[in-house]
Chains A and B, each alone.
Chain A
Amino acid sequence: MYPASFEYFAPTTLDEALEILGRYDGEAKVLAGGQSLIPLMKLRFASPSALVDVNGVFELGTLTEEGGGLRIGALTRHKACERSELLRGRFGALGAAAPQISDPIVRNLGTVCGSLAHADPQGDWGSVMLAVGADVEARGPDGTRTIPIEDFFQGPFTTALEPADVITAVRVRDPGASAGGTYLKLERKIGDFATAGVAVHVSFANGTVGRAGIALTGVGATNVKATAAENVLAGAKLDDGTIKEAARLAAEAAEPRDDLRGTAEYKRNVVRVFTERGLRAVAEGRSHD
């Protein structure tokens, strides 16, 4: 089960990493945590000519607060998110997702940005970022650019990144002073991909919902943003009727398929139940403010 041969580079600066990626003209891959890339290489689904190991590029940074939002640098491991006090309250969707990523040993190495770059429709972070609101910061031959998460996922395992781009960080937007969220995931066992997952985020404004974010895992070709459900919440009170209607619309937005983890009908119902449960948890959390 060996991967195909590849050249290996371990640069210590981002400039050096970009130079190598440019030289390989799309045939090199960035190695951060490696917890998705190495399994793909072992199966030879991926056979890059070169790996650019960025674990020594410390300027990529880790998890910090930034202007009311967060900067999650490209070397931020899932474990750091699991432990961070920053990912509570307003960033509750992130804090709830972190300990549900794969298993504890994988979380020691795997990174948030790597998971986004991998763009598995079963990935949890994609839904979380779509719900909370975030921008992917990438550097390529032409400099730094910012890709709104809403434009980032283009298909299964396909993103808006160019081949010679490195994600330097994902910036979570300021959710406002009063906000909350959570992430619910159904998995058959720890380490399995989601049968279905739902990320829920609500930013409040004057006692009603200002902006709501709902995104779904494992029920489409990419992480699915449940726009109609978000729209019915915006400007509304987070009451029983609104929650139920949003949950119905979220289930409608899902495009699940039958597989070993369950039937399409079952997964759609899980989305409905989890959306309702998530929104109730946010409403409940708010009543304790």
Chain B
Amino acid sequence: MTEVITAREGAITRPITVRVNGTAHSAVVETRLLLAHFLRETLGLTGTHMGCDTTSCGACTVLLGGVPVKSCTVFAVQAEGHDVTTVEGLETADGLHPIQQAFHEEHGLQCGFCTPGMMLTATALLRENPNPTDEEIRWALSGNICRCTGYQNIVKAVHNAAAKLAGQWR
């Protein structure tokens, strides 16, 4: 899929191609466009939430080349040629991703605003450490803030997802 977006007259732009959730998107973007805004506004993937806009809260976390980054603190042009995974990329044809199913089952969210970032960070954690302890989960998620303070169930959800993924791989 290819989209060409025209930036405003006189703007400093650059053509980029970014593979988002497995689909290549080509666009001409302003160099100063943040990755978060590219995802939300250019591609319409509003599952990536803008929380603090100051690199503090982690609501805008996406995976860039498989690594969690705060997309409010990366320019879209830096993602050129890279893979990006947003929360919309977690679900498969078979249904919810195990991490999504686990957040649902354990009630790992209240208002849900921090949830996309939490799930993406947790996904990266479980890929590296398939059976984390409570402490390792809390440590890995310490850059993601839940202002409902629902951390207890978030930690439970990550354990639940770890068990689901272990079953899948067996």
**With a CB–CB cut-off of 8 A, which chain A residues contact B75?**
8, 34, 38, 51
A246–B80 Cα distance when bound, in Å, is: 51
CB pair B12–A6 under 8 Å, yes or no, is yes
- When A and B form their complex, which 10 residue pairs have the shortest distance between CB atoms, in order from nearest? A103-B143, A105-B143, A8-B31, A190-B142, A3-B32, A104-B143, A38-B73, A5-B12, A108-B67, A105-B68
Bitwise, A79-103 to B at CB < 8 A (1) or not (0) is: 0000000000000000000000011
Interfacial residues of chain A within 87-142, with CB under 8 A of chain B in the complex: 102-106, 108-109
CB pair A104–B56 under 8 Å, yes or no, is no
A34–B77 Cα distance when bound, in Å, is: 13
A263–B96 Cα distance when bound, in Å, is: 50
- Asked if B110 is at the interface (CB within 8 A of a chain A CB), the reply is no
A191–B51 Cα distance when bound, in Å, is: 15
CB pair B54–A4 under 8 Å, yes or no, is no
- Asked if A242 is at the interface (CB within 8 A of a chain B CB), the reply is no
**With a CB–CB cut-off of 8 A, which chain A residues contact B33?**
2
Q: Which residues of B contact A (CB under 8 A)?
A: 11-12, 14, 30-34, 53-56, 58, 61, 67-70, 73-75, 77-78, 80, 121, 139-140, 142-144
CB pair A7–B12 under 8 Å, yes or no, is yes
Q: In the complex, which of the residues A42, A51, A105 contacts B121, with contact meaning CB atoms closer than 8 Å?
A: A105
Q: In the complex, which of the residues B58, B69, B140 contacts A109, with contact meaning CB atoms closer than 8 Å?
A: B69
Contacts A42-B53, A103-B142, A105-B68 given; does A5 touch B73 at CB 8 Å: no
Q: In the complex, which of the residues B30, B80, B143, B144 contacts A10, with contact meaning CB atoms closer than 8 Å?
A: B80
Interface size of A in residues (CB-CB distance below 8 Å): 28
CB pair A105–B70 under 8 Å, yes or no, is yes
CB pair A104–B142 under 8 Å, yes or no, is yes
CB pair A5–B143 under 8 Å, yes or no, is no
CB pair A105–B77 under 8 Å, yes or no, is no
B60 to A, closest residue via Cβ: A105
B74 to A, closest residue via Cβ: A34
A39 to B, closest residue via Cβ: B55
Shortest distance between the CB of B153 and any CB in chain A (Å): 20
